[in-house]
Structure 1
Amino acid sequence: MSRATSPRPASPPDSESTTAGPSPPDQPQEVDATTLLDINRGNRPSRASLVSAFVVPVLVIGQAAWATYVVCYQLAHQRLMKRDKQMGAGYAVIVLQALFIFMAGVTYMRLIQVIYTDPGLLPLGMSRAKPEDGGNDDMKAVMKRWSEKRSIIQHTTPEDARTREELFKELAAHNQRQAELRMEALKSFRPKDMFIVAPDGLPRWCKTCETFKPDRTHHCSDLGRCVRRMDHFCPWVGGIVSETTTKFFVQFLFYAMLLCIFMLATTITLFKRDNDRYGQRNPQLIALLVLSGVYTLFTVGMFQNSMWMLAKNFTTIEQRQFGMPLHLAVRISPDWYAGNVDHLSCYMVVSFASAPGEKWAIFQTDPRAKLWDLGGAYANVCQVLGKRVWEWVLPVTYSPCAKPADDVSEYPFGPAALAVTQNVQAPK
């Protein structure tokens, strides 16, 4: 753990953060199952992303259907069974192709079904969830104008002072509104025992969705929404890879990889036989050879990278941000201030009126700390794929990490984060 940015006093500091508001509800707010139509009614997503999310899966399905036709008819039936009289080899190729294409297709359909029905989106804030209240286009409109007028600010002249002043007034008004919304949302905020906060000690806030972001939640610009345990937006599968879809995404990659390897090996074998025995080079075999080769490289690389990140309990975003310190809030005991606290490395103490009598110490983590690494590759993989073998291979149940969170933390913390709790016990 990093050292404190400022020494800890032996009594509560004057700058201790507090928030006012009623007690939190008895149950934490549940994540709604939001469809793409709901996304459109909220913050508007990228039109190009939605188009690619529809077009690319159609192209992938079309290519898979054509490849299956070539393997089963052109290779197995026409060459192995009819021309070379190798009935057993022909049937084996057809059966294996059918098995791999079936499993790849089932996992693909399951993945797309979850993407469209329960993509793991965070509910919008109150003003965003009710467009009729007039608060649905503030962020988009202001940030769009900021992007268009940024050069005006940088290259303004005395004659342009009015334009510059109007823009900054608009941005100041927007920032003031965001601060008011954030403080209002704190009245019903339900803090966990341990959770990631902003450097100011308050929960992380999304200005676009106007809501607090739980741990591992990030805003997806392609969808215009915050996504729980967001990994990345993938046009190949038609949408977002998140806490609800990562398991099915990995399963699809596995079966797609087996399918591509099988087609590549079969095509190479029969293409070489045709060339050596008959001097034939069928254009469809050449096309299938190229297509299966490209997709084999792609799926093998994607599956290997996905399994590596599962073993480390990383998402794509967290991998890119690795090396940046985070700020961890840890619930402390009521008598925490008693005795000598010089050994503690926290730099702030916060409290929330929605949790009366409770306090949280804020720590800055080591930049390379793996907070969600559970201490072993198997435990990390099981958090996404499940603990039973059939859960690893069949796209039926959701990931364990997609289950409702408890009061301890949004997702299980690993040893690197749990070590912090040893520093906040009241001295004896």
Structure 2
Amino acid sequence: MAKRVYEVWKGSNRFLLNGRLMFGPDARSLIVTLLLIIIPVVIFCTFVVRNLIHKFSSYNAGYAILVVTIVYTIYALVLLFLTSARDPGIVPRNLHPPEEEFSYESSASVEAGGRPTPSLQLPRTKEVIVNGMPVRVKYCDTCMLYRPPRCSHCSICDNCVERFDHHCPWVGQCIGKRNYRFFFLFVSSLALLCIFVFSMSALYMKFLMDEHGTVWKAMKKSPASMVLMAYCFISLWFVGGLTGFHLYLIGTNQTTYENFRYRADNRPNIYDRSCLNNFLEVFCTKIEPSRNKFRAYVQEEAPRPPRVPSREAEVDDSGGSRRAKVEDDLEMGDDLLKISQRHDFGDVGDVRSRVSDGFPQKSPEVELGSGLDLQAALGSVSEHHSSLGRRN
């Protein structure tokens, strides 16, 4: 029975629902991320929003706070799902190295028989033109392809990803060309959610301080509010700082990988097309379909045509074949000599056996003639053997 692509996938990804959902190898970290989002929201709705409903009972504003919290949390979770459960832009692997890039060169290694063999050399880099500028792309030994510009191989997922930004352990997936937009919206939505929860908890603490007069009494009245304020304040440093950093990357059309790797090179950014166009490229362009059909059946590989070696390889092979022919002739001469000697001894043994059994014995002329014929045959074989040696 033919297998599907996701069943024989060579990367480290994990698939669910028969290949419909694709996660990274560290997908279990999603459980931690979900708990860090859902648990504070549940505490906020239970201990803060429920009391704020009574504070704004005349205008039903408390219910509006509850609805906004739930809807915005669901929105953040949907963005998390879109970020972690889809193909980030994986470049399909090749089954064989690109043959058009092979070049035949003389190899320094020599076989046991003394024949030099041509070796196939694959250039490690090659140049392509991007926006009128030459860009050097590298060859990936794992995927057996030349990586497209802005593509890198993720060591965790073991895949080449287009416009590779980084591998995020919190979402358990690579961030690349097809999910970077959702990743940024997810991070920025978490930053806004932290600000919202922190503000509403601080507002409830303000009401408690007006009722009880001191901060200490207000904290004793609602310790959950203080815990949420501290939690949101710490979390905002991470998700807020990450949002600001990616705003800078989007405005300059960079990736996290490019920013950290080429920061000291001071090379010009050939992908920068002004701040507005950079934002439009990330948020307003159509997301390309995946280049991998994970639910498709694996196609059997067609037989490959034989590779035609270059002229240098043919010269080496012809030289090696001539030498091999001389060696084979020498070996054949040795074998003929041994066979002739063995045949001579067998004939002599047959003659003696016939004499001993009572058959008429051959005349001396016959024996002399057979001996002369045998010597002539041995002489011709030895002469052929010596001539082969001289030719060699």
1:381 maps to a residue whose letter is F
Match of 2:224 in 1: 284
Q: For residues 197 and 7 of structure 2, what CA distance do their matches in structure 1 show?
A: 35
Deviation (angstroms), 1:193: 8.7
Match of 1:249 in 2: 183
Q: What 5-or-longer segments of structure 1 have no aligned partner?
A: 1-32, 43-48, 129-168, 170-178, 326-366, 388-396, 405-428
Is 1:103 aligned to 2:72, yes or no? Answer: no
Q: For residues 35 and 86 of structure 1, what CA distance do their matches in structure 2 show?
A: 59
Question: Cα RMSD between the aligned structures?
Answer: 3.7
SS in 2 for 1:205: strand
Match of 2:139 in 1: 205
Q: Which moves more between the two structures, 230-239 or 85-94? A: 85-94
Match of 1:59 in 2: 32
Higher normalized helix content (fraction of residues)? 2
1:74 is aligned, of 47, 55, 62, to 47
Q: For residues 54 and 239 of structure 1, what CA distance do their matches in structure 2 show?
A: 7
Q: For residues 121 and 195 of structure 1, what CA distance do their matches in structure 2 show?
A: 25
Asked if structure 1 preserves the Cα contact closer than 8 Å seen for 2:89 and 2:290, the reply is: no
Match of 2:271 in 1: 372
2:92 maps to a residue whose letter is P
Count of residues in correspondence between the two structures: 254
Q: For residues 273 and 35 of structure 1, what CA distance do their matches in structure 2 show?
A: 58
SS in 2 for 1:180: strand
1:317 is aligned, of 232, 257, 263, to 257
Computing the radius of gyration from Cα coordinates, the structure with the larger value is: 2
Asked if structure 2 preserves the Cα contact closer than 8 Å seen for 1:71 and 1:263, the reply is: yes
Cα distance change, pair 95–64 in 1 and its aligned pair in 2 (3 A): same
Higher normalized strand content (fraction of residues)? 2
Cα distance change, pair 245–73 in 1 and its aligned pair in 2 (3 A): same
Match of 1:119 in 2: 88
Q: What 5-or-longer segments of structure 2 have no aligned partner?
A: 15-22, 98-108, 110-118, 292-392
Q: For residues 39 and 181 of structure 1, what CA distance do their matches in structure 2 show?
A: 26
1:381 is aligned, of 269, 275, 279, to 279
1:182 maps to a residue whose letter is L
Deviation (angstroms), 1:257: 1.7
SS in 1 for 2:28: helix
For each residue in 1:52-90, what CA deviation from the matched residue of structure 2 results, as whole angstroms up to 9, or x when unmatched?
x3233212222322222222232122x123477566231
Deviation (angstroms), 1:104: 1.3
Question: What TM-score, normalized to structure 2?
Answer: 0.56
Identity of aligned residues (%): 21
Asked if structure 2 preserves the Cα contact closer than 8 Å seen for 1:76 and 1:94, the reply is: yes
Q: Which moves more between the two structures, 269-278 or 235-244? A: 269-278
1:237 maps to a residue whose letter is V
Match of 2:300 in 1: none
Deviation (angstroms), 1:378: 0.6
SS in 2 for 1:108: helix
Matches within 5 A, 1:23-422: 38-40=10-12, 53-77=26-50, 79-82=51-54, 85=57, 88-114=60-86, 118-127=87-96, 180=120, 182=122, 196-198=134-136, 203-278=137-212, 279-281=217-219, 282-322=222-262, 367-374=266-273, 376-386=274-284, 398=287
Cα distance change, pair 320–379 in 1 and its aligned pair in 2 (3 A): same
Structure 1 residue ranges (4+ consecutive) displaced by more than 3 angstroms after TM superposition:
33-38, 82-87, 183-186, 189-198
Deviation (angstroms), 1:36: 11
SS in 2 for 1:204: strand
Deviation (angstroms), 1:261: 0.8
Question: What TM-score, normalized to structure 1?
Answer: 0.52
